[in-house]
């Protein structure tokens, strides 16, 4: 991920219901709702973000069934 502070969303994402992610030059990640770009921005440090991504890969957020 390029650490330039620019928000990006997945190229395969739909036009609604997406989040945008920015990797900050000094470290850390910011996340915002692509439908409300002037709304709140969540900030995470690199270890928090890495743990979140790993939890996704491990299926910890998969819906049952």
| Assigned domain for 43 exists | yes
| Assigned domain for 13 exists | no
Range of the domain at 52: 19-57
pTM: 0.82
Do 30 and 7 touch, CB atoms closer than 8 A? yes
| Assigned domain for 32 exists | yes
| Assigned domain for 11 exists | no
Question: Would you state the pLDDT for residue 16?
Answer: 67
| Assigned domain for 25 exists | yes
Spatial strand order in the sheet of 19-23? 19-23, 29-33, 41-44
* Average pLDDT value for residue range 51-65: 95
Q: Which secondary-structure segment (H or E) carries 53?
A: helix 46-57
The tally of domains found in the chain comes to 1
Q: Which secondary-structure segment (H or E) carries 52?
A: helix 46-57
* Residue % of the chain over a pLDDT of 90: 77
| Assigned domain for 14 exists | no
Classified as helix, coil or strand, 58 is coil
Question: Would you state the pLDDT for residue 12?
Answer: 72
């Amino acid at each position: 991920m390029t650490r330039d502070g620019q928000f990006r969303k997945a190229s395969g994402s739909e036009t609604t219901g997406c989040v945008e992610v920015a990797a900050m030059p000094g470290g850390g990640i910011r996340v915002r709702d692509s439908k409300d770009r002037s709304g709140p921005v969540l900030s995470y440090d690199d270890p928090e973000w890495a743990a979140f991504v790993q939890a996704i890969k491990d299926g910890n957020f998969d819906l049952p069934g």
